[in-house]
A = this chain, B = another copy of it.
Amino acid sequence: MKEQFFKYIQELQDTITSTLEKIDGKATFKEDNWQRAEGGGGRTRVIENGAIFEKGGVNISKVFGELPEALRKQFGVEEGHFFACGLSLVLHPTNPFIPTVHANWRYFEMYDSTGAIVTQWFGGGQDLTPYYLFDEDAIHFHQTCKNACDKHHPEFYPKFKKTCDEYFWNAHRNEARGIGGLFFDYLKENEEFTIEDRYNFVTQVGDSFLESYVPIVQKRKEIAFAKKHKDWQEIRRGRYVEFNLVHDRGTLFGLKTNGRIESILMSLPPTVQWVYNQESEDNSLEARLLEVLKNPKKWIY
């Protein structure tokens, strides 16, 4: 399974980066291959200052070896070996009318002292962070997520949509980071699903990514924007930074376990503003976004 999934994310990285380069038309992804001293490494691909994408990264990594202390504590084991691989992506468009998107699909195995698999699972998801909210974009994104889920189980979409709203909650601001999508973790083999079923589900979601996001980019990329729109985007990007650095378990885990910092923090936006006590006008587009972020909506009925 680990070879099968790693092959999948290698190919998916190629598909996604080549598609995004065509859409951008100006910038290309720069590749950095890196090694992890304790075992494994990754292939980071970053795009900057494009026609569409101001900054973005589509990274894969495969790491293995002895369980780091933080994971031993988390799993309550004294020793063990592990394997983990995944694809992470974040895209920050220049145009404030195009949303930021984040996705991650990953696989984890843990072994006993004989090298046998003790446990294995998949995790991941994808979520959208608009600066100006077009309901039809939110519906399209969620519908694509739901279509992928529904091919596997009717309860997947409502369950993973809810988990996503809960996970990407910027608690200190009492608002969501964005308008959600899917979030799932610890998808293990059980009576209902084999690990192959889990693989089929996660890859179905991964395969749906471009369909969920690209039509939104195409629809919004020609909208003219003014400084006030860009300012608002940069202020909202500040909330994105706050979530990733204060609350995101994946980011904090990476920072505290000697992960590759530049690959982890490629998720941070290129330009950001913090304005004291910024307030939006009643009934403005900005206020409408905030209202939805304070009370996450059901987009699909």
Write the residues of chain A forming the contact surface with B, with a CB cutoff of 8 angstroms.
32, 46, 48, 55, 57, 172-173, 234, 238, 241-242, 245-246, 252, 255-256, 261-262, 265-266, 268-277
Contacts and interface: CB of A to CB of B under 8 A. Distances in A.
Given A238-B268, A252-B246, A46 B276 contact: yes
A127 to B, nearest CB: 20
B172 A255 contact: yes
A262 B274 contact: no
Contacts of A242: 245, 265
18 contacts: A32-B277, A46-B276, A55-B276, A172-B255, A172-B261, A238-B268, A241-B241, A241-B245, A245-B245, A245-B246, A265-B274, A266-B276, A270-B273, A270-B274, A270-B275, A271-B272, A272-B272, A272-B274
A177 to B, nearest CB: 14
B275 A48 contact: yes
A274 to B, nearest CB: 4
A173 B274 contact: no
Copies of this chain, how many? 2
Contacts of A277: 32, 46, 262
B241 A246 contact: no
Nearest to A173: B261
A140 to B, nearest CB: 29
B273 A271 contact: yes
Top 10 A-B residue pairs of the complex, sorted by shortest distance between their CB atoms: A245-B245, A268-B274, A172-B255, A272-B272, A46-B276, A262-B277, A245-B246, A266-B276, A271-B273, A172-B261
Contacts of A252: 246
Contacts of A172: 255-256, 261
A275 to B, nearest CB: 7
A252 B46 CA distance: 30
A268 B246 CA distance: 14
A270 B276 CA distance: 9
A246 to B, nearest CB: 5
B273 A272 contact: yes
A3 to B, nearest CB: 30
A287 to B, nearest CB: 17
Contacts of A275: 48, 270
A59 to B, nearest CB: 11
